[in-house]
């Protein structure tokens, strides 16, 4: 599956005390989360299977999962009243069904690891923003926290509806965040996996590693690649990095051979200090094979086309050695503490895991963990998640969310953690 899940199209521990629900309601009225302790582009969208690692849910209607009698965190008191998490996903969408199922499976995997005092209701929608807003407005009365929606357009529609009265964790980024007049409401947190955020982090990385000289930004006309290229360019220029964007033609996922040859000539003449590849892995290999390894190449998670477990048996790509990228721990850090404790998604034995679906599964895990911390009335917190280091902060006016993804590099033909520059 090539490219990032673009959710405009095909899309992104604390102990709960007995009075948590009352505190939460008070926080919602004040617009704050109070502290109890004083912190993707893919057209392969066939509907997936039901969540594999959680209690069974009906696929044709909302389902509620109540915590079993056992399974509480050791030493944690059992709350006298459940917290109700509502998962709002486009499970009925032909285009988004598979992505939504991946998120749901990850969310329920997170729940199974920490069921104490939580009940989950899954509300199924289509992918039309008006329908999603209607479902949001008509949430069950007992709802404490909403997790969803999954698309940028639906997130923007909910944000602009004036209906956000409960903590809401959107699973994508909104198109309205940059406009002060239409900024996300102060109870709405957007934590989707964003190619733009990865591009901005890559710009900071290049600025610190290769600050001198021009950086070429290479993309095709694909919408997600143009967004990544633009985000990188804006951030790089803020950091004083000289950039130039080069857009190459493509067909059937492959770059134009003539354009690549012309780009190779420019590389030889202009000698850039680095190259940011707003491309997928196959396209980046084309460029690398053409220009060689002299110019450092940086990119986003789309330069990693495989799930973590598939690197064990897949054919390696030694021609990519030295290429640097950002990706989430779930995809390449098998010894990460959080990655080690959650089960892998379940796929048919005859199918290879989709890297994009694995990222969405991981997003579901972290979404549950963030919801738990929000339910514990944390105003500010950090989480070493399976999708990166998450930094969350609530104020009266807005919610701050930041994800810092670990650095990776191709070593011995496979994606590996970057250690001491290699």
Q: Can you tell me the distance from the alpha carbon of 276 to that of 337, in angstroms, rounded to the nearest whole number?
A: 30
Which pLDDT score is estimated for 11? 41
pLDDT band at 421 (very low <50, low <70, confident <90, very high): low
pLDDT digit string, tens, across residues 292-306: 999 999 999 999 999
Nearest C-alpha neighbor of 270 from the set 236, 241, 243: 243
Q: Can you tell me the distance from the alpha carbon of 44 to that of 419, in angstroms, rounded to the nearest whole number?
A: 35
pLDDT digit string, tens, across residues 10-47: 343 332 332 333 333 333 333 333 222 222 433 333 33
pLDDT band at 81 (very low <50, low <70, confident <90, very high): confident
pLDDT digit string, tens, across residues 160-205: 999 999 999 999 986 654 544 457 899 999 999 999 999 999 999 9
Which pLDDT score is estimated for 378? 78
pLDDT digit string, tens, across residues 162-173: 999 999 999 998
The superfamily (CATH) of domain 196-327 is: Response regulator (3.40.50.2300)
Which pLDDT score is estimated for 211? 67
Helix/strand/coil (H/E/C) assignment for every residue in the chain:
CCCCCCCCCCCCCCCCCCCHHHHHHHHHHHCCCCCCCCCCCCCCCCCCCCCCCCCCCCCCCCEEECCCCCCCCCCCCCCCCCEEEEEEECCCCCCCHHHHHHHHHHHHHHHHHCCCCEEEEEEECCCCHHHHHHHHHCCCCCCCEEECCCCHHHHHHHHHHCCCCCCEEECCCCCCCCCHHHCCCCCEEECCCCHHHHHHHHHHHHHHHCCCCEEEEEECCCHHHHHHHHHHHHHHHHCCCEEEEEECCEECCEECHHHHHHHHHHHHHHCCCEEEECCCHHHHHHHHHHHCCCCCEEECHHHCCCCHHHHHCCCCCHHHCCCEEECCHHHHCCCCHHHHHCCCCCCCCCCCCCHHHHHHHHHHHHHHHHHHHHHCCCCEEEEEECCEEEEEEECCCCEEEEEECCEEEEECCEEEECCCCC
Which pLDDT score is estimated for 399? 87
The superfamily (CATH) of domain 20-193+338-390 is: Response regulator (3.40.50.2300)
Which pLDDT score is estimated for 373? 94
Which pLDDT score is estimated for 103? 98
Q: Mean of the per-residue pLDDT values for the chain? A: 82
Please, are residues 75 and 69 in contact by the beta-carbon 8 Å criterion? Answer: no
Comparing 20-193+338-390 with 196-327, is the CATH topology the same? yes
pLDDT digit string, tens, across residues 321-341: 999 999 999 999 999 999 999
Question: Does the structure show a pLDDT above 70 at 282?
Answer: yes
From first CA to last CA, the distance across the chain in angstroms is: 28
Residue with tokens 């959680």: 54
Which pLDDT score is estimated for 396? 82
pLDDT band at 209 (very low <50, low <70, confident <90, very high): confident
pLDDT digit string, tens, across residues 340-386: 999 999 988 888 899 999 999 999 999 999 999 999 887 899 999 99
Which pLDDT score is estimated for 32? 32
When pLDDT is averaged across residues 59-85 and rounded to a whole number, the result is 46
Domain ranges of the chain: 20-193+338-390, 196-327
Which pLDDT score is estimated for 101? 97
């Amino acid at each position: 599956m090539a490219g990032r899940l673009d959710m405009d199209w095909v899309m992104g521990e604390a102990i709960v005390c007995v009075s948590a629900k009352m505190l939460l309601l008070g926080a919602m009225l004040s617009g704050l989360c109070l502290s109890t302790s004083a912190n993707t582009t893919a057209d392969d969208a066939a509907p997936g299977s039901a969540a594999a690692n959680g209690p069974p849910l009906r696929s044709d209607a909302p389902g509620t999962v109540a915590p079993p009698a056992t399974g509480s965190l050791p030493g944690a008191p059992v709350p006298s009243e459940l917290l109700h998490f509502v998962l709002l996903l486009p499970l009925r969408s032909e285009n988004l069904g598979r992505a939504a199922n991946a998120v749901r499976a990850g969310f329920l995997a997170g729940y199974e690891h920490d069921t104490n005092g939580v009940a989950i209701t899954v509300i199924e929608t289509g992918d039309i923003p008006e329908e999603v807003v209607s479902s949001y407005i008509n949430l069950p009365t007992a709802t404490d926290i909403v997790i969803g929606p999954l698309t940028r357009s639906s997130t923007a529609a909910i944000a602009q509806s004036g209906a956000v009265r409960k903590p809401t964790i959107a699973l994508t980024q909104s198109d309205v965040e940059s406009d002060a007049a239409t900024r996300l409401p102060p109870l709405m947190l957007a934590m989707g996996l964003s190619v733009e955020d990865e591009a901005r982090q890559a710009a900071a990385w290049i600025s610190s590693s290769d600050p001198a000289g021009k950086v070429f930004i290479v993309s095709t006309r694909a919408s997600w690649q143009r967004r990544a290229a633009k985000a990188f360019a804006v951030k790089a220029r803020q950091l004083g990095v000289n950039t130039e964007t080069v857009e190459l033609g493509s067909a059937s996922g492959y770059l134009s051979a003539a354009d690549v040859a012309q780009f190779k000539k420019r590389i030889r003449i202009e000698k850039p200090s680095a190259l940011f590849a707003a491309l997928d892995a196959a396209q980046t290999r084309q460029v690398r094979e053409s220009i060689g390894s002299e110019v450092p190449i940086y990119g986003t998670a789309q330069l990693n086309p495989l799930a973590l477990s598939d690197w064990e048996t897949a054919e390696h790509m030694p021609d990519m050695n030295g290429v640097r990228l950002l990706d989430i721990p779930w995809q390449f850090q098998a010894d990460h503490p959080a990655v080690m404790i959650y089960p892998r998604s379940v796929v048919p034995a005859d199918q290879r895991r989709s890297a994009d679906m694995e990222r969405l599964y991981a997003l579901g895990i972290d979404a549950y963990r963030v919801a738990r911390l929000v339910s514990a009335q944390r105003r500010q917190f950090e989480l070493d998640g399976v999708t990166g280091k998450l930094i969350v902060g609530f104020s009266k006016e807005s919610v701050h969310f930041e994800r810092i993804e670990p650095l990776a590099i191709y070593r011995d033909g496979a994606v590996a953690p970057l250690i001491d520059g290699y």
